Protein backbone atom coordinates (compact mmCIF):
# COMPACT_ATOMS: atom_id res chain seq x y z
CA UNK A 1 0.00 0.00 0.00
CA UNK A 2 1.29 3.47 -0.88
CA UNK A 3 2.24 5.73 2.00
CA UNK A 4 -0.48 8.30 1.29
CA UNK A 5 -3.12 5.56 1.35
CA UNK A 6 -2.09 4.43 4.84
CA UNK A 7 -3.80 7.50 6.30
CA UNK A 8 -7.18 6.34 4.99
CA UNK A 9 -9.19 4.00 7.28
CA UNK A 10 -9.68 0.54 5.74
CA UNK A 11 -13.42 0.76 6.34
CA UNK A 12 -13.60 3.92 4.23
CA UNK A 13 -11.54 2.36 1.44
CA UNK A 14 -13.98 -0.54 1.40
CA UNK A 15 -16.96 1.84 1.33
CA UNK A 16 -15.59 3.75 -1.66
CA UNK A 17 -14.79 0.57 -3.57
CA UNK A 18 -18.26 -0.86 -2.94
CA UNK A 19 -19.79 2.38 -4.24
CA UNK A 20 -17.88 2.10 -7.52
CA UNK A 21 -15.18 4.69 -6.85
CA UNK A 22 -11.39 4.19 -7.14
CA UNK A 23 -11.53 2.90 -10.72
CA UNK A 24 -8.59 3.39 -13.11
CA UNK A 25 -8.41 5.65 -16.16
CA UNK A 26 -6.55 4.87 -19.38
CA UNK A 27 -3.86 6.91 -21.12
CA UNK A 28 -5.19 8.24 -24.40
CA UNK A 29 -3.46 8.87 -27.70
CA UNK A 30 -1.64 12.07 -26.70
CA UNK A 31 -0.80 13.24 -23.20
CA UNK A 32 0.33 16.62 -21.88
CA UNK A 33 2.08 17.35 -18.59
CA UNK A 34 0.83 20.19 -16.38
CA UNK A 35 3.45 21.32 -13.84
CA UNK A 36 1.47 23.31 -11.29
CA UNK A 37 3.16 26.26 -9.52
CA UNK A 38 6.54 24.67 -8.73
CA UNK A 39 8.22 28.01 -8.08
CA UNK A 40 10.26 29.29 -5.16
CA UNK A 41 7.13 30.95 -3.81
CA UNK A 42 5.75 27.48 -3.09
CA UNK A 43 8.98 25.57 -2.42
CA UNK A 44 11.12 28.03 -0.53
CA UNK A 45 14.87 27.71 -1.02
CA UNK A 46 16.61 24.36 -0.74
CA UNK A 47 18.02 23.77 2.73
CA UNK A 48 15.48 25.94 4.53
CA UNK A 49 13.24 24.56 7.26
CA UNK A 50 9.49 24.82 6.77
CA UNK A 51 9.42 27.73 9.20
CA UNK A 52 12.22 29.55 7.35
CA UNK A 53 10.52 28.99 3.99
CA UNK A 54 7.20 30.35 5.26
CA UNK A 55 8.91 33.33 6.86
CA UNK A 56 10.41 34.23 3.48
CA UNK A 57 7.59 33.36 1.09
CA UNK A 58 4.46 32.74 3.17
CA UNK A 59 3.08 30.14 0.78
CA UNK A 60 6.13 27.84 0.74
CA UNK A 61 6.05 24.15 1.66
CA UNK A 62 9.67 23.74 2.73
CA UNK A 63 11.67 20.48 2.77
CA UNK A 64 8.96 18.27 1.21
CA UNK A 65 9.32 20.42 -1.91
CA UNK A 66 12.91 19.37 -2.38
CA UNK A 67 12.06 15.70 -2.03
CA UNK A 68 9.62 16.12 -4.91
CA UNK A 69 11.65 18.41 -7.22
CA UNK A 70 14.09 15.72 -8.50
CA UNK A 71 11.15 13.43 -9.18
CA UNK A 72 9.33 16.22 -11.02
CA UNK A 73 12.47 16.74 -13.11
CA UNK A 74 12.38 13.04 -14.00
CA UNK A 75 8.71 13.32 -14.96
CA UNK A 76 9.42 16.35 -17.14
CA UNK A 77 12.19 14.44 -18.90
CA UNK A 78 9.75 11.58 -19.53
CA UNK A 79 7.61 13.99 -21.54
CA UNK A 80 10.52 15.73 -23.25
CA UNK A 81 11.94 12.48 -24.59
CA UNK A 82 8.51 11.69 -26.04
CA UNK A 83 8.12 15.17 -27.56
CA UNK A 84 4.84 15.69 -25.69
CA UNK A 85 3.46 19.08 -24.57
CA UNK A 86 4.50 20.47 -21.18
CA UNK A 87 2.78 23.43 -19.53
CA UNK A 88 4.28 25.15 -16.48
CA UNK A 89 2.03 27.39 -14.39
CA UNK A 90 2.93 30.26 -12.13
CA UNK A 91 1.20 33.36 -10.84
CA UNK A 92 0.13 36.15 -13.15
CA UNK A 93 1.71 38.93 -11.13
CA UNK A 94 1.35 41.49 -13.90
CA UNK A 95 -2.40 41.92 -13.80
CA UNK A 96 -3.54 40.50 -10.47
CA UNK A 97 -1.12 39.73 -7.61
CA UNK A 98 -1.24 36.05 -6.69
CA UNK A 99 -0.91 36.53 -2.95
CA UNK A 100 -4.31 36.57 -1.29
CA UNK A 101 -6.14 36.08 -4.58
CA UNK A 102 -6.02 32.37 -5.36
CA UNK A 103 -7.33 31.34 -1.94
CA UNK A 104 -9.05 32.93 1.05
CA UNK A 105 -5.68 33.37 2.74
CA UNK A 106 -5.37 36.70 4.54
CA UNK A 107 -1.82 37.28 3.32
CA UNK A 108 -1.77 40.77 1.83
CA UNK A 109 1.92 41.40 1.13
CA UNK A 110 3.09 41.50 -2.47
CA UNK A 111 5.02 38.38 -3.54
CA UNK A 112 8.73 38.72 -2.66
CA UNK A 113 11.48 38.57 -5.32
CA UNK A 114 11.91 35.15 -6.98
CA UNK A 115 8.39 34.06 -5.97
CA UNK A 116 7.66 33.21 -9.61
CA UNK A 117 11.08 31.74 -10.48
CA UNK A 118 11.41 28.02 -11.17
CA UNK A 119 14.12 25.93 -9.46
CA UNK A 120 17.03 25.19 -11.80
CA UNK A 121 16.22 21.46 -12.00
CA UNK A 122 12.85 22.13 -13.61
CA UNK A 123 13.35 25.41 -15.44
CA UNK A 124 11.20 25.47 -18.60
CA UNK A 125 13.05 25.24 -21.89
CA UNK A 126 12.53 27.50 -24.86
CA UNK A 127 9.21 26.63 -26.49
CA UNK A 128 7.65 25.23 -23.32
CA UNK A 129 4.66 27.29 -22.25
CA UNK A 130 4.65 29.15 -18.93
CA UNK A 131 1.02 29.90 -18.17
CA UNK A 132 0.32 32.69 -15.70
CA UNK A 133 -2.83 32.19 -13.65
CA UNK A 134 -4.69 34.21 -11.03
CA UNK A 135 -6.75 31.53 -9.30
CA UNK A 136 -6.17 28.00 -8.08
CA UNK A 137 -7.15 26.19 -11.27
CA UNK A 138 -4.88 26.36 -14.32
CA UNK A 139 -8.10 26.43 -16.39
CA UNK A 140 -9.82 29.39 -14.71
CA UNK A 141 -10.09 32.20 -17.27
CA UNK A 142 -6.99 30.99 -19.14
CA UNK A 143 -6.62 29.64 -22.71
CA UNK A 144 -5.36 26.27 -21.44
CA UNK A 145 -8.30 24.18 -22.69
CA UNK A 146 -8.09 25.72 -26.16
CA UNK A 147 -4.34 25.12 -26.28
CA UNK A 148 -4.77 21.45 -25.35
CA UNK A 149 -7.50 20.87 -27.94
CA UNK A 150 -5.42 22.61 -30.62
CA UNK A 151 -2.51 20.29 -29.84
CA UNK A 152 -4.63 17.14 -29.99
CA UNK A 153 -4.27 16.35 -26.30
CA UNK A 154 -6.74 13.91 -24.75
CA UNK A 155 -4.89 13.03 -21.52
CA UNK A 156 -3.49 15.25 -18.77
CA UNK A 157 -0.80 14.30 -16.25
CA UNK A 158 -0.51 16.63 -13.26
CA UNK A 159 2.23 17.30 -10.76
CA UNK A 160 3.14 20.16 -8.46
CA UNK A 161 1.83 22.09 -5.48
CA UNK A 162 -0.21 22.19 -3.41
CA UNK A 163 -1.90 18.82 -3.66
CA UNK A 164 -4.91 20.11 -1.74
CA UNK A 165 -5.09 23.46 -3.53
CA UNK A 166 -3.96 24.34 -7.04
CA UNK A 167 -3.25 20.75 -8.09
CA UNK A 168 -6.65 19.53 -6.96
CA UNK A 169 -8.48 22.49 -8.54
CA UNK A 170 -6.67 21.98 -11.84
CA UNK A 171 -7.31 18.22 -11.84
CA UNK A 172 -11.03 18.68 -11.21
CA UNK A 173 -11.28 21.22 -14.03
CA UNK A 174 -9.23 19.03 -16.34
CA UNK A 175 -11.58 16.13 -15.71
CA UNK A 176 -14.60 18.43 -16.08
CA UNK A 177 -13.30 19.54 -19.48
CA UNK A 178 -13.36 15.95 -20.71
CA UNK A 179 -9.71 14.95 -20.45
CA UNK A 180 -8.43 11.65 -19.07
CA UNK A 181 -6.59 12.74 -15.94
CA UNK A 182 -3.62 11.36 -14.04
CA UNK A 183 -1.72 12.58 -10.98
CA UNK A 184 1.80 11.41 -10.13
CA UNK A 185 1.78 11.02 -6.36
CA UNK A 186 5.45 11.50 -5.49
CA UNK A 187 5.60 14.50 -7.83
CA UNK A 188 3.02 16.42 -5.76
CA UNK A 189 3.55 18.04 -2.38
CA UNK A 190 1.75 20.06 0.26
CA UNK A 191 2.57 21.90 3.46
CA UNK A 192 0.27 19.41 5.23
CA UNK A 193 0.88 15.66 4.94
CA UNK A 194 -2.68 15.03 6.10
CA UNK A 195 -4.10 17.28 3.37
CA UNK A 196 -1.76 15.70 0.81
CA UNK A 197 -2.91 12.17 1.64
CA UNK A 198 -6.61 12.97 1.96
CA UNK A 199 -6.70 14.85 -1.33
CA UNK A 200 -4.78 12.21 -3.27
CA UNK A 201 -7.32 9.71 -1.98
CA UNK A 202 -10.30 11.82 -3.00
CA UNK A 203 -8.79 12.73 -6.39
CA UNK A 204 -8.08 9.05 -7.03
CA UNK A 205 -11.61 8.14 -6.02
CA UNK A 206 -13.42 10.65 -8.23
CA UNK A 207 -11.43 12.61 -10.78
CA UNK A 208 -8.16 10.94 -11.82
CA UNK A 209 -5.90 7.95 -11.53
CA UNK A 210 -3.18 8.61 -8.97
CA UNK A 211 -0.06 6.71 -10.03
CA UNK A 212 3.64 6.55 -9.25
CA UNK A 213 6.40 7.55 -11.66
CA UNK A 214 7.14 3.91 -12.38
CA UNK A 215 3.46 3.13 -12.98
CA UNK A 216 3.14 6.07 -15.35
CA UNK A 217 6.25 5.00 -17.28
CA UNK A 218 4.59 1.64 -17.89
CA UNK A 219 1.46 3.34 -19.25
CA UNK A 220 3.19 5.89 -21.49
CA UNK A 221 4.23 5.25 -25.10
CA UNK A 222 7.91 4.50 -25.63
CA UNK A 223 10.31 7.42 -25.87
CA UNK A 224 11.28 8.55 -29.35
CA UNK A 225 14.68 7.34 -30.49
CA UNK A 226 17.35 10.00 -30.88
CA UNK A 227 19.53 7.77 -33.07
CA UNK A 228 20.16 8.95 -36.59
CA UNK A 229 21.32 6.99 -39.56
CA UNK A 230 24.97 7.55 -40.44
The yes-or-no answer on residue 187 being catalytic is no
- Going 72 to 175 to 210 to 152, the CA torsion angle's sign is negative
Q: Which helix (H) or strand (E) holds 80?
A: helix 63-80
**Quick one: which of 144, 211, 204 has its CA closest to 174?**
144
Q: Output the CA–CA distances (angstroms, integers) from residue 127 to 96, 101, 123, 220, in the order listed.
A: 25, 28, 12, 22
- Going 225 to 226 to 229 to 230, the CA torsion angle's sign is negative
Q: Which helix (H) or strand (E) holds 180?
A: strand 180-189
Interior/surface letters 10-21, b for 16+ CB within 10 angstroms, e for the rest: eeebeebeeeee
d(C-alpha 197, C-alpha 8), whole Å: 8
d(C-alpha 225, C-alpha 72), whole Å: 22
d(C-alpha 106, C-alpha 142), whole Å: 24
* Cα–Cα–Cα angle for 79, 82, 83, rounded to 5 degrees: 85
Q: Which of 61, 166, 187, 188 is catalytic?
A: 166
Active site residues: 166
Amino acid sequence: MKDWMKAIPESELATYKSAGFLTDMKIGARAALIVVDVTYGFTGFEGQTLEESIAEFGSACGPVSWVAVPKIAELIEMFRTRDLPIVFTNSNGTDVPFAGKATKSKRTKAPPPRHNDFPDAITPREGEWVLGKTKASAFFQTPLASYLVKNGVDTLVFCGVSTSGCVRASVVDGFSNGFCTFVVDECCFDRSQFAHSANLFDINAKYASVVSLDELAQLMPKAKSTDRAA
